[in-house]
Amino acid sequence: MSSKVNLSWIASQFEDKNDLIQKKLELDHKQITVLFIKSLIDQELYQKYIINPFFELPTQEQFNLYLFALPQFQEVPSKEKALYFVMEGNVLIEIQDNLYSLDFKLSKNSDVNSTSVETTIHGSELALSDNLMTNINVIRSSYHQPSLMIEYFEKGEVNKPKMALIYDDKKVKRKALESIREKLEKIDMQVITEAPQFNTLLNDQRYSLFPKMLLTERPDRIVYNLAGGKVILLVDGSPQSMIAPVVFFDFMTTMEDNYHTLAISYYLKLLRYIGIFVCILLPGIYIGAVSFSPEVFRTELMLTIAGSRMGVPFTSFVEVLFMLFFMELLLEASIRLPKAISATAATVGGLILGTAVTEAALASNIMVIIVSAVAISTFVIPVNEMAFAIRIVRLILIVIASIFGLAGLTLGFLCFIMYLVNLTSFGEPYLRFYNYRKGNQDSEGQA
Amino acid sequence: MLIKKRMKVKLFILITIPFLVVLTGCGEFKDIDKMVFVSMIGIDETDDPEKPYKIILKLYVPTSSFRQNPTPEYTYLSKNGKTLAETISILESHLDKELDFGHSKLIVVGEKILQNDNYKEILDFLIRRPDIQMISYFAVGRPNAEEIIKFLPAGETALQPTIFNYFDNNGAESSYIISTFLFDFRRRLKEEGIDPILPIVEMNEPKTHFIINKSIVLADNRPPYELDTDKTLLFKTLSMNAKTIFFAVKREREYFVSRIDSIKSKYNVNVENNKASIKIEMKLAGVITESKNTLSSKELSRYSKMLDEEMKEKVSEFIHEMKREGYDPFGFGLKYYAHTLPKNRMTHEEWLEAYKNADVEVVVKSNLKSTGSIQ
């Protein structure tokens, strides 16, 4: 099939002829046909690298050689591929019945963002960008290993975004990589817009509570995890990347842990783990102790709690659920609202939850303290995905504590740990405490 | 089809279990404001043989804000009855809330109960009731339990009964206060070879505060034996519970008081040919804190020797007295049983006889480190 036919086939595929430009240029003995989408290509580059040389170079051979030397130059294997190239922002050139493609994609979203989800005090403030190639550039330029592998592919039948699977070929866990590839094969989705979607797409268990992949926007975390043998998934147009496989303790690490001195980073880690226990257990302990076994408190504390509950019309677990419900509403509301309004919402909510509720004797003073402690400790968990999962676990434990008391809470917590132990992330045990692989130098970044 | 059926079974289980669980109606669930907490339990004996016991319960009144209401507030329940369990169950009908003994830290019995040997029956009830803590303190009230229970010393604040501080070594660390836990009292009572000792709680005359510096030793088939303040101190010293003691020495024209802050004492019991011998070794270290005469630090060893002799005299006298009367709060008998094989052991009666006639040897090694003044 000749390239002429191919070109007309491609042109016929487009319904909207306004944006598609097909031009035939002839000068002396030189002749080319170009085909591109105007809004997708960088017209300056087009002018500089195609039009100018065409008129300046004397012969067709020289022009061909010149094109061949350009880094954007690509052969076109089939007409379907050619169509895809056009849609990606390439310029198709037909010369002497041969079809070539030149990548002159114009991207306006290639600036790196500043970190907004994983902010730190120490370390880089720059995150990934929305552009895949920029992101790969960022990663490659801070991970200098020839073994770094980048595999491109497309998923999502309708919008077909370009995606990349990145790993260090020497360090990657083969089993996990195979499992990820296998699951990527099975994806059957019409539209994929963001990398976090993989968390559900690559998960076989529909009702799984805990994230099996780590979402990050920080290049340093990506590099750290690449060195640990993990696999990174990037989607064009998404400023976030997914890391797999992960263990529970990855979610409790911030990149800052590596930037502090040992004592400080251990102290901060300790603080974080205490925080997560407080966040999971405190409401349950309150219910269990207040309504089932008041012996566990100190006498003074018990009497103060008993006193502060005087006049509260609800039983302890209704009180806890009531306050937590409003706290969660407040959290949810402040995410959705524009920044200017969310500050007001927080103030109003804080006032209502804080003072008015106790004034009106809808909840005890101690309860307000517990709810705020729980709210604060939720924010201590460094990765958001885990914080969401923990919030749900907390609710389950509250229900268990209000039915079975402190003993039930202990048992429920045990079940929670058993569940975590049972989980795997792409073949890796989820609650793996420490890395048992030999050789410490390649255990960096592995949980 | 099989899969569908399995799903149905799963769904059935998922739905029934929550229903069964929730429909139990939270039988144990009881909010903290629907309970009333007992602070102390007092048990007295009445003159009425039909209803020999009088139970007095001191109940906490919860306050919502300690700052607004710092004065102590309690309510009291009291009732005479034949048995303790029945009486308490009747007392529960006097309240709108559930009685909870989980926070009662002190059990006071009247002196009269000890005299009439009724304490074993009381102890049985206290041990059996699950929500009474075995780590409650047990004390004897003088003149009776009711007055001690109902007495509010000056300076007491809400929620913090001062009397607990006497016993728990957090507040007072006096060497005159014996603290006996309920479990320990029971252990000493049931065990052969060691006798229980209980503190006596009194009030001072204008009734402003408690005085706890005497104790009482109980033994089978004998009337309770009271130890006065000095003997209580000696007992605490010998049982190594005292942290610091002040000990006066008066001999050879010297009269000084030493502050002893390191006390080590151990004792051995040997029995040969049914003749028991008790050897007590004490090591003391401290400084002199008060003296009538001027002391020279060069003569510290002489002062130490004087302290040795004084202590030896006091201790021997105390142990001879205990032995003569047949009381054994130190556990010499237990020590003997623990160190002898069962086939060589005397019976309890034989031991008591041997204990009465035992030889006592006291060795005191004291080390006074300073005269307490700079020269």
Could you identify the residue written with the tokens 């909870």?
B100
pLDDT at B298: 84
Determine the pLDDT at residue B182.
92
- φ, ψ of residue A59 in degrees (nearest 5): -120, 165
Chain A CA closest to residue B38: A299
The per-residue pLDDT for range B268-313, each reduced to its tens digit, is 888 888 788 999 999 999 998 888 888 888 888 888 998 899 999 9
B156 burial (CB, 10 Å; 0-12 / 13-18 / 19+) is middle
Interface with A, mutate which of B22, B24, B33, B105 (most A CBs under 10 A): B33
Average of per-residue pLDDT across B356-375: 85
- Chain A, residues 311-350, CB within 8 A of chain B, namely 312, 315-316
Q: Which helix (H) or strand (E) holds A168?
A: strand A162-168
Checking if the pLDDT of A168 tops 50, the result is: yes
Across the interface, whether the CB atoms of A403 and B62 are under 8 A apart is answered no
Q: What is the mean pLDDT of chain A?
A: 85
Q: Select from A290, A292, A300 the Cβ nearest to the Cβ of B28.
A: A292
Between residues A355 and B321, the one the model is more confident about: B321
Tell me the chain A residues in contact with residue B37 when contact means C-beta distances shorter than 8 Å: 294, 299, 302-303, 306
**Closest CB from A290, A295, A403 relative to B21:** A403
Residue B189 predicted with pLDDT over 50: yes
Overall average pLDDT of the A341-354 stretch: 75
Of A294, A403, A405, the CB nearest to B32: A294
Q: A80-134, pLDDT tens digit by residue?
A: 888 888 888 888 888 888 888 888 888 777 788 888 888 888 888 888 988 888 8
Judged by CB atoms closer than 8 Å, whether chains meet at B159 and A312 is answered as no
User: CA torsion, points A220, A221, A225, A231, in degrees to nearest 10?
Assistant: -100
The shortest C-alpha distance from A302 to chain B (Å) reads 8
The reply to whether residue B105 touches residue A290, judged by beta carbons under 8 angstroms, is no
Residue closest to A102 by CA, chosen among A25, A176, A31, A35: A35
Task: Determine the Cα–Cα distance for residues B143 and B353; give it in Å rounded to an integer.
Answer: 34
End-to-end CA distance of chain B: 102
Touching check for A306 and chain B: CB below 8 Å?
yes
Encode pLDDT of A69-83 as tens digits: 888 888 888 888 888
Asked if the Cβ–Cβ distance from A306 to B32 is below 8 Å, we say: yes
Distance from CA of A410 to the nearest CA of B (A): 17
Q: Which residue has the higher pLDDT, A170 or A2?
A: A170
Q: Is the pLDDT of residue A441 over 60?
A: no
Residue of chain B nearest A290, judged by CA positions: B32
Within 8 A of B30 by CB-CB distance, chain A residues are 291-292
Q: What is the mean pLDDT of residues A284-304?
A: 87
Residue A109 to residue B349: CA distance in whole angstroms = 99
B171 or B144, which is more confident? B144
Mean pLDDT value across residues A58-66? 86
pLDDT of A447: 44
A 10 A CB-CB count for B180 gives: 20
**What are the structure tokens assigned to A370, written together?**
């517990």
Residue B197's pLDDT is what?
92
In this prediction, residue A439 carries a pLDDT of: 46
Topology of domain B228-375, CATH = GMP Synthetase; Chain A, domain 3 (3.30.300)
Let me know: does A156 contact A189? Beta carbons within 8 Å: yes
- The verdict on B22 touching A (C-beta cutoff 8 Å) is yes
**Closest residue by Cα to residue A371 from A330, A314, A313:** A330
Contacts of A401 (CB under 8 A, 6+ apart): A283, A284, A285, A287, A288, A317, A408, A409, A412
**Nearest neighbour of B159 by CB, restricted to A292, A303, A310:** A303
| pLDDT higher than threshold 50 for residue A438 | no
Q: Hey, are the CB atoms on A403 and B131 less than 8 Å from each other? A: no
- Tokens standing for residue B77: 């329940």
Cβ <8 Å between A310 and B62: yes
What number is the average pLDDT over the span B63-68?
A: 70
The DSSP code for A93 is E
**Three-state DSSP class for residue A141:** helix
Mean of pLDDT values over A261-269: 91
Q: Which residues contact A244 (CB under 8 A, 6 or more apart)?
A: A176, A180, A202, A212, A213, A214, A230, A231, A233, A425, A426
Q: Per-residue pLDDT tens for B244-269?
A: 888 888 887 888 899 998 999 888 88
Length reported for chain B: 375
Confidence of residue A390 (pLDDT cuts 50, 70, 90): very high
* Least Cα separation, residue B170 to chain A (angstroms): 14
Angle between helices A219-227 and A132-142 (to 10 degrees): 60
Percent of chain B with pLDDT over 90: 18
B79-82 — which CB contacts under 8 Å span 24+ positions? B79/B54, B79/B55, B80/B46, B80/B48, B80/B51, B80/B53, B80/B54, B80/B55, B81/B51, B81/B53, B81/B55, B82/B50, B82/B51, B82/B52, B82/B53
Contact (CB<8Å) A295/B102: yes
Residue range B80-133, pLDDT digits in tens:
998 888 898 898 898 888 888 888 889 999 888 888 777 888 888 888 888 888
Question: pLDDT-derived band of residue A435, with 50, 70 and 90 as boundaries?
Answer: low
In this structure, the dihedral spanned by the alpha carbons of residues B17, B19, B25 and B26, taken in order and rounded to 10 degrees, is 40
Per the listing, tokens 């970190």 go with A115
Residue A6 pLDDT exceeds 80: no
Smallest CA–CA distance, residue A317 to chain B, in Å, is 10
Q: Give B239's pLDDT tier (boundaries 50, 70, 90).
A: confident
CB contact under 8 A, A306 and B160: no
Higher pLDDT, A167 or A358: A167
Q: Within chain B, which residue ranges are assigned CATH 3.30.300.210? A: 228-375
Within 8 A by CB and 6+ apart from A410, the residues are: none
Phi-psi region of B130 (alpha: psi -120 to 50; beta: other; left: phi over 0): alpha
| Percent of chain A's residues with pLDDT above 70 | 96
pLDDT of residue B27: 61
Label residue B1 by pLDDT band (50, 70, 90). low
CA distance A271 to B176: 44
**Do B28 and A308 count as a contact with CB atoms less than 8 A apart?**
no
- The lowest-confidence range among A155-164, A362-371, B28-37, B222-231 is B28-37
Extract long-range pairs of A370-375: CB within 8 Å, 24+ residues apart.
A370/A282, A370/A283, A370/A286, A370/A320, A371/A283, A371/A320, A371/A323, A371/A324, A371/A327, A373/A278, A373/A282, A374/A278, A374/A279, A374/A282, A374/A283, A374/A324, A374/A327, A375/A327, A375/A331
Check residue B206 and give its pLDDT. 86
The answer to whether A359 contacts chain B (CB < 8 Å) is no
Read off the pLDDT of each residue in B29-41 and give the average, rounded to a whole number: 85
The residue of A206, A207, A285, A291 whose CB has the most chain B CBs within 10 angstroms, and thus the best one to mutate to test that interface, is A291
Whole-angstrom distance, CA of residue B263 vs CA of residue B307: 13
Residue A227: what pLDDT?
87
Please give the structure tokens belonging to residue A104: 């002159």
Answer whether B171 touches A (CB < 8 Å): no
Q: What are phi and psi of B95, to 5 degrees?
A: -125, 155
Question: B35: which chain A residues are within 8 Å (Cβ-Cβ)?
Answer: 294, 306
What pLDDT sits at residue B352? 86
Lowest mean pLDDT among A36-45, B18-27, B92-101: B18-27
Q: Which of A299, A300, A307 sits opposite B64 (nearest CB)?
A: A307
Q: What is the pLDDT of residue A156?
A: 82
